[in-house]
Structure 1
Amino acid sequence: MKNLPRPPKTTARDDLETVLYIYNYKGEVRGYEPTDIEIDAILAIYDLYDQAFGMPSDALKGPGLAPALNGAIRHAYPHTYEDGKIPHVRATAFENVDLCPICGVDPPVELDHHLPKAVFEPLSLYAWNLVPLCEACNGAKLAKDAGKFLHAYFDIVPDVQFLRVEISIENGGLVTTYSVDDNAELDAPLLTKLKFQMEALSLNNRFQKDVNKYLVAHTTGLHMAAEFGGSVGVNYYLQKQAVVETHAFHRNHWRPVLLNALANHGAFCNGEFKNVLPDGQAAAVADNLATKELVEEI
């Protein structure tokens, strides 16, 4: 749920001219070689897309283009792969993007057509319509929902808190429920998109699956913080770690949101964390350190 820098699009004309041509396949003539006027018409559709901030419209489907040209653009998409004629389109999209901008859970491995190429064929190769996503997010998006998802290049997310998590401890386990805050200080269209993708992509369930695995890495730190500082020490540890991870990711990433919520959960800080994250080894280390300090004092 964060923005990405827009990749360069300076090669748009050259890219189209490179991958659109007539060729023979098993004796059959295929492809399409557009005129300069047709290339200009495709680039005009790109401009319309930018002006509409990636929102769908019939004009972006290329109604004025020859159907064969639309189909040729869509079928040329594999040329963005490593062994294709324009691999830089894919390569530049993935530069410096470590995690999926929607979920922040997994690394991006696929290019999502923000407006699906099956419907908006002229945009099949357009750099600003191609967004790096993880396999789970890209696989869960449906063509019928075009325009309902956050556009990582165009929908600017302000620096306000909108992701929240409710926490409860049940039978020694931590139960988390993530949601988008209805009262967040966001424009209504942006809030609607965030809430829609939260539900459509089952992000709460995906976050839940990673919560326990993630917290295990903090088990020893939490126990040591409690040994030396009690509930105040646990609270301090969680708040400091939240600051670190907010800087590493962003304020609405599921990890710092979780850490801040745990810091504000009195029962968790007062010792319930020991039931959720038991660690006898950490307690033993703390006891040994305390014994050593006592011996040194004597």
Structure 2
Amino acid sequence: MAEAGWQRSLYDETYEGGWLEEIRTEVFKAAKGRCVLCSVFQPRTLDHFLPKESWPSLSVLTLNLVAACADCNRIKGTLANASPGQQFVHPYFDAVPMNEVFLHCSPVKDGVMSPGFSIEPCAGMDNDLLARLRWQFDTLELDEMYRDEAMLFFGERKDDWRESAEIDWVTLARQIERECSSAAKATGRNMWKPAFLQGLLDCPSFGASPLTFLGQ
């Protein structure tokens, strides 16, 4: 027990001024400014993928540390379930098929803009990984988080998109396609922004009458 406490206490040395501060710096650098769990907010905390309370020997192992925003860190907490379908996806070790699209968005619900996000199977994804991604998505409440971000973004783009929609749908679609391509290059295809933009392009009701949603 004394040894475990000493191992856990080593983590305190990763803070600024500690003799293991370089570890914290490396983990944040690897995150490239985004929480590795939600990919939305700036990471300001380090999360132990396997909680140090149960695995004290991994307290300062770089591969067990992930840069996370405060909300994701709080929700994840010390969860480390034994059930295969209820385990977080490791950002370094799990082979997630990033070149295939598995995050999808249905932007319209009951005739109004209300984006809903979901994890769907794709090429190269086995059922076990699919189950874990869906469990993590639900546990971290990412649908709600992504919906809020998408609605904020939609509000910011409405005026510009309305000008294109007043010309015709083709003009607006081309603009959204360019923005979708740019977002995918910047963040990857399985992030909320490219998923939302692709959802708008694929949505029949939005394509049929974009000005209904953008406001005339």
TM surpasses 0.5: yes
Give 1:167 deviation, angstroms.
Answer: 2.8
Relative distance call for 1:169 and 1:233 in structure 2 (3 A) is farther
Aligned to 1:219: 158
Aligned to 1:124: 59
Aligned to 1:267: 205
| Percent of pairs with identical residues | 28
Q: Secondary structure at 2:117's aligned position in 1?
A: strand
Q: Secondary structure at 1:174's aligned position in 2?
A: strand
Give 1:80 deviation, angstroms.
Answer: 0.2
1:64-79 map, 5 Å: 67-79=1-13
Structure 1's unaligned 5+ residue stretches are 1-66, 281-298
C-alpha separation in 2, matches of 1:243 and 1:144:
36
Structure 2's unaligned 5+ residue stretches are none
1:98-117 map, 5 Å: 98-117=33-52
C-alpha separation in 1, matches of 2:197 and 2:10:
45
Mapped contact 2:51–2:80 kept (Cα < 8 A): no
Could you say what the CA RMSD is over the residues aligned between the two structures, in angstroms?
1.8
Q: Cα deviations across residues 216-265 of structure 1 (Å, max 9, x unaligned)?
A: 2222321121233x011111111111101000100100110110110111
Give 1:270 deviation, angstroms.
Answer: 3.3
Mapped contact 2:173–2:201 kept (Cα < 8 A): yes
Aligned with residue 86 of structure 1, among 20, 33, 46: 20
Q: Secondary structure at 2:164's aligned position in 1?
A: helix
C-alpha separation in 1, matches of 2:212 and 2:13:
53
C-alpha separation in 2, matches of 1:207 and 1:139:
18
1:209 matches 2:148: yes
Mapped contact 1:235–1:264 kept (Cα < 8 A): no
Which deviates more, 160-169 or 70-79?
160-169
C-alpha separation in 2, matches of 1:184 and 1:141:
28
C-alpha separation in 2, matches of 1:183 and 1:84:
44
C-alpha separation in 1, matches of 2:27 and 2:160:
37
Mapped contact 1:165–1:258 kept (Cα < 8 A): yes
TM-score computed with the length of structure 1 as normaliser: 0.66
Q: Cα deviations across residues 44-92 of structure 1 (Å, max 9, x unaligned)?
A: xxxxxxxxxxxxxxxxxxxxxxx32221010121110012121101011
C-alpha separation in 2, matches of 1:137 and 1:146:
17
Is the radius of gyration larger for structure 1 or structure 2? 1
Give 1:136 deviation, angstroms.
Answer: 1.2
Q: Secondary structure at 1:189's aligned position in 2?
A: helix
Q: Cα deviations across residues 116-138 of structure 1 (Å, max 9, x unaligned)?
A: 00110100011110011111111
Aligned to 1:3: none
Aligned to 2:189: 251
C-alpha separation in 1, matches of 2:43 and 2:81:
20
C-alpha separation in 2, matches of 1:140 and 1:261:
28
